[in-house]
Structure 1
């Protein structure tokens, strides 16, 4: 198909076909002056674009130039980007295509990428990057299906019932300040290479979660209210997806009475004086809670005597920590009085540890409880803004215990 020449001084008359270069055109109509032949010697019928492109369009952008710029920006294949840039420059020069700036920019960025890669290999950075990438991928696989609420977070369960919560995605995270069904206080990873079974996971959670509550709730005088200990364990399906974590929870025992406020009592919620006080209490609390399984002294006198010795040692460490801290003026006198009372209590616990029979043990044991200085402890705690209800208001025979133990976890796995 011939393209008509543009209008101008050499356009043929209307109705006439353009002459071909080198041919003599027909004569002009009679009475008209004959013009020069079309096209004039030395001129093409219309302007030619160098190369095979249309005279009415711009040359395309070279594809290798685009690819070079992309590789240079991503820095993932710097050598490839440099090669593409060089090819692009050669093609642009030969074909008259556009994209020279992109090819040059891609080549420069690729050269920078190659230099950085050389430095990374020389310093070991590339290896560390690869190891970090593998570790992130492994963690992603391990956390697949894990509980979506982190330590210290609170949540609501379906219909307010933790027992009906079977999958992690069913929970809704909510502020701990308001009402909620549960609070996460710890989690740990299961080391088994294959799925150990539901019963084994529940037993493992029931053993470890009670111990993990204490770093979260350092203050043994904390009022747990209606909270019970629950745990969320992987099932066979989530285990196949990479879930290896057991999540330990405080949950509402009665769905009609949800929890309110956080139970967390650690360095994130306590000031320096409060933290020093509750940490001073811990050695005695741990020893006191290690009493023998046999409730009757007559059934295990030796076990109870060893327990009394542990309590005496815990009280000694409690005194040491109380004396080591510089207390505020409003607290100092109460702490001094408490230390004096603990000294008297230690004598009774030491005698209980050396008792010859159950009756002698009970006499010194009761006297040791009465001389723990709880009134002074209450006064010191009140001055510090801590809880003031002692977990030892009742004796162990009355069933009083500090905090939650594994019995609260029985049947509470979710």
Structure 2
């Protein structure tokens, strides 16, 4: 007799194939931004799925694709973005920068040496929110912060021009408190960072004064040189020339042909500064340098009337004529002799020719 008929007219369906665990893991790790692991798990999953006939091929491919995209974007970012900005500087217990690192412009402290992240000193230097690399001052750098002060007396943002009018002379004079013999470091120019409208609204009022070589020159030493670095005779000599050098830093930016009033006002200030320098030199004790000091005083006294005449010039050509007379009596030779006798660097420009004027290259 025939067997009883099966209750099923067709063969029973085969059980579903297993889901590959690596395919699932590949997708999960890629979504968790663990791209390298997602890529590895996805490849292993595809190999096992092909060999064992498992399910999850779509998951593995999705994991590989997502991980690959993340790795590609990371590779592009490495070539475009400077990740050093995320490495902060290391400071010693004294507060000095011991190891270079990146920080924001408004974190700069007095005495910090730094290089802007982009640009060089000038009006196209670091903008609002820019980063600077703080470095030890005995390593190559572009600038050094030497003073800060707070803008006060303004209920509203005073504007870039007004800030420059205040900051330029103040930064100029403050520098000679920080570095009493700046000519020992070659030609320098003062600059300052200042708040703009946006940062002013955020409560920022600080101006940061800093110094650098004009153009693309670099420094590899701190320009700080105060009384603690000088002997009494050196201090007397540099203090005597300080009024003259301080006023020379404030030479008007505009040519006398553009702004005769500004030029003559500056000449009047230079006359007062030169008279003060003569008075201080006469009272200075400079052992071994008495004779060149007398000669320097004599030349400065001979040049003083021409500063006063320049202050009264009625036109630019007359002004320039008086300045040429001043230059012929600048005392440069005798100042160099005094510096050599006192143990100061002798490659110094003539008195009153130490600096270029300050500019305002950036806002913070």
TM-score under structure 1 normalisation? 0.48
Cα 1:252/1:325, change in 2 over 3 Å: closer
- Taking the TM superposition and a 5 Å limit, the aligned residue runs for 1:68-217 are 147-158=106-117, 163-164=125-126, 166-167=128-129, 170-191=131-152, 196=157, 200=159, 203-205=162-164, 207-217=166-176
* Aligned residue in 2 for 1:17: none
How many residue pairs are counted as aligned between the two chains?
A: 254
Matched, 1:260 2:220: yes
Moved more, 380-389 or 217-226: 217-226
Q: CA deviation at 1:211?
A: 2.7
Q: CA deviation at 1:277?
A: 1.8
* Aligned residue in 1 for 2:331: 373
Q: CA deviation at 1:378?
A: 1.2
- Taking the TM superposition and a 5 Å limit, the aligned residue runs for 1:355-374 are 364-374=322-332
1:250 to 200, 211, 216: 211
Q: CA deviation at 1:372?
A: 2.3
Q: Matched residues in 1 for 2:199 and 2:302: separation?
A: 58
Contact 2:147-2:174 within 8 A present in 1 as well: no
Contact 2:236-2:286 within 8 A present in 1 as well: no
Q: Over the residues paired in the alignment, what is the CA RMSD in angstroms? A: 4.3
1:243-272 deviation digits (Å, cap 9, x = unpaired): 4322222356667x5432123343354443
1:350-407 deviation digits (Å, cap 9, x = unpaired): 56667788777655543332122210011112223435445459xxxxxx9641324x
Q: Matched residues in 1 for 2:127 and 2:317: separation?
A: 50
The structure richer in strand per residue is 2
Contact 1:160-1:181 within 8 A present in 2 as well: no
* Other structure's SS at 1:260 match: coil
Matched, 1:229 2:191: yes
Contact 2:236-2:284 within 8 A present in 1 as well: yes
Cα 1:205/1:270, change in 2 over 3 Å: farther
Contact 2:212-2:219 within 8 A present in 1 as well: yes
1:116-146 deviation digits (Å, cap 9, x = unpaired): xxxxxxxxxxxxxxxxxxxxxxxxxxxxx98
Matched, 1:273 2:233: yes
Q: CA deviation at 1:334?
A: 1.8
Gaps of 5+ in 1: 1-144, 394-399
Q: CA deviation at 1:322?
A: 0.8
* Other structure's SS at 1:180 match: coil
Q: Per chain length, whose mean CA-contact separation is higher, i.e. which structure has more relative contact order (CA < 8 Å, sep 6+)?
A: 2
1:340 to 298, 303, 307: 298
Q: CA deviation at 1:184?
A: 0.9
1:136-176 deviation digits (Å, cap 9, x = unpaired): xxxxxxxxx983332122134446878456548x4453221
Contact 2:299-2:329 within 8 A present in 1 as well: yes
Contact 2:194-2:208 within 8 A present in 1 as well: yes
1:403 to 335, 355, 358: 355
Q: Which entry has the higher C-alpha Rg, 1 or 2?
A: 1
Gaps of 5+ in 2: 1-103
Matched, 1:413 2:358: no
Cα 1:213/1:263, change in 2 over 3 Å: farther
Q: Matched residues in 1 for 2:126 and 2:318: separation?
A: 51
